[in-house]
Structure formats: C-alpha cells, structure tokens
Structure 1
Amino acid sequence: MNDFDIELKMNQKKNRLKRKYFYRQLLVNSAAIICLFIHGVEVGAPTVLVPQLRQEANSTDAVTPEQASWLPAIASYTAVPGLIVQNAMAAYFGRKVTHTFVSIGALIGFIIFYCSPNIQVIMIAQFFQGVFMSPYVCTVIMFIAEYTSSEHRGLFLTIKSATFFWGILTSNVLGTFFHWKTIPMLGMACSVYSLIVGYFWPESPLWLAKMGRFDQCAKSHRWLKGSSEKSEKELEKLLAENQNSKNKMPLKYQINHTFKSIIKKEIYKPVLLSQLLIALYVFSGKLVYTVYAVEILKKITNKTSTAYAGMLIIDAVTIFSMYIGCAFVKVFKRRTLLFACSSIGVAFLYILSIYLYLVKFHVFAEDKYVSISLLVGFSINKTLQEIAECMKGVKSVEDNRLLPTVRDNVTIVPENQK
C-alpha cells in the first residue's frame, strides 16, 4: 500500500468521524429545536381554534371576544415566571433536567388541550404551554451554543430562526383542513420525541465544568465533539477557565458580585436595546396579525375560504422572508436593513389604512387582492425587520462583550464546594 492510499484512508476515516459527531450534535439539537416548533404550533392554534369552536356550537357565544383575546395572551403572561424558573433550573440542575422538565410540561399541556371539553379548559392548556414552552425560546439558544461545535453552530441557529414560524404554518394548515384536535395530537407526538431524545443527551460540558465535575465534562465534550486536536484544545480551555479561584468564592460574595456585574453598562445597555427591538416588533402589529389573521381577512374578503387561503399564503411568505432575511444580513448593514424594513412596513400599513378608508367612504370599490397584497408586503418587511433586529441585538451583545462578562462574572458554586 503506497503513501497515497494510506493518506486517502486516513482522510476517509476523519470524514467519517466528523459526520459521526455532526449527527450526534444534530440529534441533540433536533430535540431542542423541535420545542420551538411546538411553541409555534401552540401560538398558531388560537387562529384556527376559535372559528372552529364557534362553528361547532353554531354560536359566537361559544368563545366570547374576551376569551378569544385571552387565549393567545395567557401564554405570554405565564412565560415571565416560567423564564425565571427555567433559568434557575438550567443553572443549578443542569440543561438536561431543564429540557426534560420543559418536554414533560409541554406534553401535559397538549394532553389537556386534546381532552378539553370547552374554552375554559383550553385556557388551562395554554397556561401550561406558556409556563413551559414560551420561555424555551430564550433557553434554546444556550442549549445550541453549549452542545454544538463552532463550525456547525451557524447552521443550527439558521434552522432555529424559521422553526417557530414553521410551527405556526403547520398549526394553521391542520386547523384549516382538519379538526382542531389534530393540533394537540401533533404537539403530543413532538413532545414525546423531544422527551425521548433528551433522555439520551449527555449533560452540557460547560455546566459540568462550572459545577466542578471535570471528568464528566471531558467525557461529555468528547462524546459531542470528538477527540480531534481542535476539540481537545477547546476542552483544555474550558477546564482551565473553570478551575480558577472564583469558583471557590463564598455564596454571599458570589451573589453580591453577580449583582454588581448586572448593573454594569456592558450588560444593561445591550439588554435595554434588545427590549427596544422586541417592542418595535410587537407594537408594529405583526404578532397581533398572526393571531387574528382569519378574523382580519374575513372582514376584508367577506369569504371564509378566501380568508383561510390568504392566511396560509401569508404564513408561507413569512417563512420564505425569514430565509431571504438571513441572506440580506450578509449583504446589507444591520442598521440600514432595520430602518429600511421598519419604514417600508409602516408605509404599507398607512397605505392599507388609507385604502380601506377610501373604500369605506365609497371613493372606489374594494379589491380584496389589493388588500391582501398590501398585507403580504407588510408581512415581508416586518419579517425582514425581525431578522435585522435579531442580528442587531446579537451584534450589540458582541460589541459590548455581554457574553464574556456574564460568563466571567456570574458564577455557580461547584457541587463539591456546597
């Protein structure tokens, strides 16, 4: 066997190993990312659920306007305590326990949803989804960052960006063509998948290192990322960073040190900027439109079938725009893209408002295709704006070195020091 054949076989072996560890990371991330899909299914459900419940009862009193308003909103309110609980669990009990907790909660919520005899019980199911699934939108980024190699991280984050909207589209498709109980059935299947895959997860190497479990950290890191020279250097750096004196601080000093870190401008400035960008997206009306799409389009088109078709078209356009936005942020400056898309989105809303007022005052007859086209234009620009907001927020975090500051200053008492 000559040198060329030996080198070829070595390269083939390296490629097989790379694929092996990539598939392991794919398996782990699939369980985390599918939770975002579940969240999209839960958010999209009220859009098609309310019309079906009213149709089944042959009365609008089956779901009052107040109940129709609270149904999508309750998950947002319950997400706040859920986020606090999930972050605390991730810090003190580990990422694997947190993921299992979320998957079980989502499964319970969808079981209640499926068995619901009335709107009141469905609201209880939405409460469960809000506590368990809504905060996962934040914690999933931590999971992807810690379980994924740097060369694959961008791929999984790109997949994550549109998964939520795929969930909304799937929920709306099921609710349009099938009975509403097919939605919780899909949610239960996805929750079971997430739970089963999560059972075979290793614990996060970063969390294990912070807790002082260095042998388990090395084992988990090598299972996920292999034993290549690059991976071993990453592991050595991880272990070295967590073997410093700060891990031996008294708990009282750690709490005081963490509080002082939080009030630094390197942390609160990007956090406030991120909140401003989120408010810009919410107050633009895109989220409200997502929930009330059928009702809005019914009033525009005066035809139920056209309203459902328009809703699905706009959902599909939203997903397509997410991928276009990922390409745009590589071509245009984030700030330019953010202001351009925001301005154009507002312009579409103004044009639509003026157009509908002119129709109301009988200046000319309404053309439903014009109205839907304006809504599609608005949806495209608001989706591109959302991508720009995400990337702008990440850039702000990077510029202010938020992540290193948090990692270096927010500490956890190792298990052997408790």
Structure 2
Amino acid sequence: MDRCGRKLALQIASTPLILGWILIALSTSHSVLLLGRLIAGFSAGLTAAAGQVLIGESSEPHLRGMLSSIPLASYSFGILLVYALGSLLPWRIVAGLSTILPITSMIVFFFLPESPVWLIRHGKLEEAKKAMTWLRGGSKIKAKEETEHLVDRLELEIQTRRKTTLATLLQPEVAKPLIIVNLFNTMQILSGTYLIVFYAVDILKHVQGGNSLDNFLAAVLTACVRFIFSVMASFLLALVGRRMLAMISGLGTAISALFLGAFLHQNCQGLDYIPALFVLIYVAANTLGFMILPGVLISELFPTKIRGLAGGLTFMLFNFTLFGVAKVFPYVKSMIGISGVFWIFGLVSLGASLFLYLSLPETRGRTLSEIEDYFQQEGFLWVGRDKRWEKKVKCGVTKKLAAKS
C-alpha cells in the first residue's frame, strides 16, 4: 500500500478473496477446501491494514473514529450474515454468494479517490487536491487548507528526517504507538474477543450445560448482539472518546467474564439461561470497545511516514498471535474447563483496562499531525503527561514551520 497506493491495494485484495470463495464453493476434497481458505486468507492480510489506513487518512478528525470503526462493524455484520445464511442454505451456496461483495467492492473502488496523504507523498499534488475536494464534499477552501498543511508537514519531515527504514520503528513517535497497539491486540485476543467468534457453538454448548437452547440459534444471537453493539460503538466513539469507551468495554468484559466463570464453576443446575445471558452481556461489552478500538488506533496512532509498514506489521503480529491462541484454546479448555477459560478472559480484560488507562492518549477530535507530535514528546504514560501538551505541541510545530520558512 506504500508503493501502489491504499486504494489499489484494496482492489488487488479482492481478487484472492473471490478466488478463495469459488474454490470453497466448488471444493471436492478437504485439501481444496483448505486451499480456498488459504487463498482467501491472503485477501484478509492485504485488506486489514490498507482499509484502516485509507479511512484514517481520508477522514476529518471529528468523523475519523466513527468511520474507522465501520470495517469492524462490517466484520460483525459479515459474521451475522454467514451464520444466518448457514442456518438456512447449504454451505456451498453460502460460499458462492460470498463472492458478490468483493466483486462489487473491486468495481466501486474505480470511482473512489486515492488517499490524499499518499498522493502528496508521491508528488501527485494536483491529484491530491482533486481527491481532497471530493472527500470534503466539494469545499475547495477546506480542501486547499488541508492539502497545504499536508505539504508543509511533508517538507518539514524531509528536512528533519532521513529516508524511512526499519530503523524508523525505533523512533519514539513510532515505537510508542507500536507498543500500545500491539500489546492491546495481544490482550484483546486473550480476553476472548475472537475466540468467541471461532468457537461460539462449542462454547455455548458447554455454557448451557444441556440442550435447553439451540446452540446454533444462540450463535446467531451472539452475532446479532455483536453487530448491534459494533454500530453503537461507531457513534459512541464520536461522543465519549477512545479512553472512556476502552474503560467501559474492559470493565464490562471483565465483570461479565468473571461472574460467568464463577457461575459455571458452581455448576448450577436448572439455570441454563443465566449463563447464556451473561455470554451475551460479555459479547456486547467486549464488542463495544475491545473489538473496535485496535482498528481505530491503527488508523490514528501511527505517523504518516511509516503508517503503511507499521499497520502491516501490526496486523501480521496480530494474526500470528490469533492463530496460536486459537489453536491452543481447545487444549486449554480441556485442561481448566470452560469456567477457567472465562476467568482468564476476565483477568486479562482487567489487565488490558489498566494498561489502556495508563498509556492510551485521547485522540478524539485530534488531527493525525497532532497525534504524531504528541508521541514525539518525552514519556510514555498518558496519566503522567502534562495535560497542556496540546499547547506545547502547537507551539513546537509553529516554531519548526517558522524556522523552515
């Protein structure tokens, strides 16, 4: 996405996804089915970072959080859609229908502009102005101001920094957000965010302790809750900010998971609906912040000069960690039981809440340049930071621009 552009990267990503779904739909053996999943997986890797970066670079600050969370809301809707279709239609038909959206997206992207940030960094100023004007609803004044600001930032970066290399990852404004996002990703996975998605039917079967509820129907219900609360999170990001949403989500996830673990450990009989209810509360709280925020933070925290590389590395580490945890999960569950699993989810959620409270800056309404300048200051913890940092940042940028001119 750094060489070819964010938009073209997303168009390229549609091809293996279409091919993967076709192979799955037409598979005649287990190996062909796995090959289809493997090819579709390339698309997931190509899409994740490029989508978040494109949204972050194209959005206005007051809308960035809401728009950056839409891919995660779409992910939740996709889970719901496939669960629902899978309960009504043969799986081969569902796989075939799944080619419709990537084909549509590939076509639609021909009519959408490239990221103005990417265009400016590749010397395409006129294209950047046109793209920015389109993105700002035809407002040439606003587009001109933002374009000039991006040009000034690039010139300042050229004067003060060398060419971007892997060593750039060690610079404070890159290393700090990398640590925050990747540690949060790891704790998010260990809090059960995606394990519930992958093992929904199996987990609900153990939670219910019987056949009083249809496990597949319950899985569809969890997908409904996840979609509803991911949409709610998109609006809440614009109203309460990242830190507040992280705290609400973390504490809600921890309390519901710990209560569920204690309830299942007591092995109460005749109360199957109570643990199922707390699973839904757990999914709702977890989706509200823990599932949504990592994607939002990737689009906001990484500096422009290395946003593509840092975003790609982050999603690579995320998927390696998720793969390992997902494969180990069945063995851990068999050793400590489903109650122990939810205790782990709860304790990790508490740890994640504490970590985010100490380190995560509030980025609601901030420009990407202001966020980048924040990480250039000394110190790592947000709670220990001088709350007048915004004035200091603006003062420092003004001095740099004055010196440049």
Q: TM-score of the superposition, structure 2-length normalised?
A: 0.65
Q: Unaligned regions of 5+ residues in structure 2, if any?
A: 301-359, 377-405
2:163 aligns with 254
Indicate which of 75, 79, 94 corresponds to 1:168: 79
Distance 2:55 2:151 in 1: 20
> Aligned runs of 1:389-404 on 2, under 5 Å?
389-390=293-294, 396=361, 398=363, 403=372
| 1:229 maps onto 2:141 in alignment | yes
Q: Which amino acid aligns with 2:68?
A: L
Matches within 5 A, 1:6-405: 90-149=1-60, 153-225=64-136, 226=138, 228-242=140-154, 246=158, 254-255=163-164, 258-299=165-206, 300=208, 302-303=210-211, 306-326=214-234, 334-335=242-243, 338-339=246-247, 341-359=249-267, 364-386=268-290, 389-390=293-294, 396=361, 398=363, 403=372
Aligned CA distance change for structure 1 residues 388 and 309 (closer, same or farther; 3 Å): closer
Alignment correspondent of 1:44: none
Q: Which amino acid aligns with 2:146?
A: E
Q: For residues 323-377 of structure 1, give each alpha carbon's deviation from its aligned partner in whole angstroms, at most 9, with x where no partner exists.
A: 4445555676755654454344333333333333333xxxx52432122112112
AA aligned opposite 2:85 = L
Question: What corresponds to 1:410 in structure 2?
Answer: none
Secondary structure at the aligned position of 1:203 is classed as coil
Distance 2:51 2:168 in 1: 23
1:179 maps to a residue whose letter is: P
Amino acid at match of 1:383: T
Q: State the Cα distance separating 1:270 from its structure 2 match.
A: 2.0
The alpha carbon displacement at 1:163 in A equals 1.3
The 3 A distance-change label for structure 1 pair 119 and 367 is farther
Structure 1 residues 388 and 209: alpha-carbon distance in aligned structure 2, compared to 1, 3 A threshold: closer
Going from structure 1 to structure 2, the CA distance change for 1:209 and 1:292 (only over 3 Å counts) comes to same
The structure with the largest alpha-carbon Rg is 1
Shift of 1:405: 9.0
Percentage of identical aligned residues: 21
Q: Distance in 2 between matches of 1:106 and 1:288?
A: 23
- How big is the shift at 1:160? 3.2
Deviations 1:264-318 (A, max 9, x none): 2222122111112112211112311211111222343544971111111111112
**Aligned partners of 1:100 and 1:195 also within 8 Å:** yes
Alignment RMSD: 3.5
- Give the 3-state SS of the residue equivalent to 1:386 in structure 2: helix
Question: What is the SS of the residue equivalent to 1:286?
Answer: coil
Alignment match, 1:66: none
How far does the alpha carbon of each residue in 1:198-224 deviate from its partner, in whole angstroms, 9 at most, with x for none? 233343333222222333333444444
CA gap of 1:199–1:329, structure 2 versus 1, over 3 A, is: closer
CA 1:286 to 1:366, structure 2 compared with 1: closer, same or farther past 3 Å? Answer: farther
Q: Between Structure 1 and Structure 2, how many residues are aligned?
A: 309
CA distance in 2, matches of 1:386, 1:116: 36
CA gap 1:201/1:347 in 2 versus in 1, 3 angstroms: closer
Aligned residue for 1:50?
A: none
1 CA distance for matches of 2:163 and 2:247? 41
Query: Which of structures 1 and 2 has the larger relative contact order (alpha carbons within 8 angstroms, sep 6+)?
Result: 2
Q: Which moved more, 1:303-312 or 1:320-329?
A: 320-329
8 Å Cα contact 1:293/1:311 also seen in 2: yes
Cα distance in 1, alignment partners of residues 23 and 51 from structure 2 = 24
